[in-house]
Amino acid sequence: GKKLKLAVAGKGGVGKTTVAAGLIKIMASDYDKIYAVDGDPDSCLGQTLGLSIEEAYAITPLIEMKDEIREKTGDGGLLILNPKVEGDLDRYGRYIDDKIFLIRMGEIKKGGSQCYCRENSFLGSVVSALFLDKKEAVVMDMGAGIEHLTRGTAKAVDMMIAVIEPNLNSIKTGLNIEKLAGDLGIKKVRYVINKVRNAQEEELIKKHLPEDKVLGIIPYNELFIELSLKGEAIWQSTNPAFVNLNDIYQKLRLEVG
């Protein structure tokens, strides 16, 4: 069957890395292998998936793989723009368990005195290889700017999930993610609303977002938040949030088809 390719985006603090990690864990029962891609330097997907903070940070981010970047993008004056990386993906991260393979992107380099064309073209090639290769499932956790995706890779994204909180600022961020995703040609953008406390907050969501775009609502949950702050593997607890997340996953599967 089709291997799911998901992107999960949102601002720091809304719980998107927690949602991404939960989905990855749930998907692990459907697939032999999932690439978990940490595309947000401000969060830590590895830790949320159960690595210690030391183990998570011991994985070299792609952007810092200097030898690999040099070898792949050409050593002389010429820059190879689309280096071939397909066969090498498993050198670029590590297995967290027998199914989940974690890759860290690192911080995209912007301008400045040095040209970062090499780093960025290497990153771009890895993202293309992950999304355009039909063989494995991919879940990529990214910031609200969704800067790791391009028009080329976007067409392979089955769904962009914007994780937001029930307040106007966060809804605005979500709509912006939806717009950026639409500009890249991503067909399905859906919302997961996290930390919903009451009926007023549900009303606010209904007022601003069409119902068919809301994939699910996760109620505010002290335990969930406490565990995420400690970076503990939240999906291990018999946490009500996981019941929600499971429903969200089932709905997502139906929508992606």
Q: What is the DSSP string of 83-150?
A: ---GGGGGGSSEESSSSEEEEE--PPP--SSS--HHHHHHHHHHHHHHHH-TTSEEEEEE-TT-TT--
The pLDDT assigned to 182 comes to: 96
pLDDT digits (tens, 9 = 90+) for 104-116: 999 877 766 567 7
Looking only at the bridges linking them, the beta strands covering 94-95 and 100-104 are antiparallel
Q: Which of these ranges, 72-76, 138-142, 185-189, 244-248, has the smallest mean pLDDT?
A: 72-76
Q: List domains and CATH numbers for the chain.
A: 5-256 (3.40.50.300)
pTM over 0.75: yes
Q: Each residue of 19-37: pLDDT tens digit?
A: 999 999 999 999 999 999 9
Instruction: Please report the sign of the dihedral spanned by the C-alpha atoms of residue 223, residue 228, residue 230, residue 235.
Output: positive
Q: Mean pLDDT across the chain, nearest whole number? A: 90
pLDDT score at 176: 98
Q: What is the pLDDT, as a whole number, of residue 74?
A: 85
pLDDT value, residue 43: 85
**Residue 142: predicted pLDDT:** 96
Q: At what angle do helices 222-230 and 16-27 cross, to 10 degrees?
A: 90
Structure confidence at residue 217 as a pLDDT band (50, 70, 90): very high
What pLDDT is recorded for position 240? 67
Q: Give every strand in the sheet of 94-95, ordered side by side.
A: 94-95, 100-104, 34-39, 137-142, 5-9, 159-164, 189-196, 214-219
212 phi, psi to nearest 5 deg: -70, -10
Q: pLDDT over 90 for what percent of the chain?
A: 67
pLDDT of 222:
80
Residue range 37-46: average pLDDT?
92
* Residue 212's pLDDT band (cuts 50, 70, 90): very high
